[in-house]
Amino acid sequence: MSVDTYLRGKNTQGYHKVALEDVEILVAPSLAGMSNTIDLGLKKFLMFKSFSVDVEVKGHHHSLA
């Protein structure tokens, strides 16, 4: 999975934006088009946070990455 946390000056207009608490995820149009569902999870432990993304792909795709 590719993660880009530096968005200054980047055009994110075509991305789907999904917010979960104080985390905003930008989903690429190609990933959204190949997916039946995209589930986001957020876990907290003390002051640490981690998130997960589970994708169910359409058709017979074996992997997106």
- Calculate what percentage of the chain has a pLDDT beyond 70: 85
The confidence score (pLDDT) of residue 40 equals 78
In terms of residues, how long is the chain? 65
Helix, strand, coil content of the chain in percent (nearest 5): 10, 50, 45
Tokens of 65: 């990455």
DSSP conformational letter for 21: T
The confidence score (pLDDT) of residue 38 equals 82
Whole-model pTM above 0.75? no
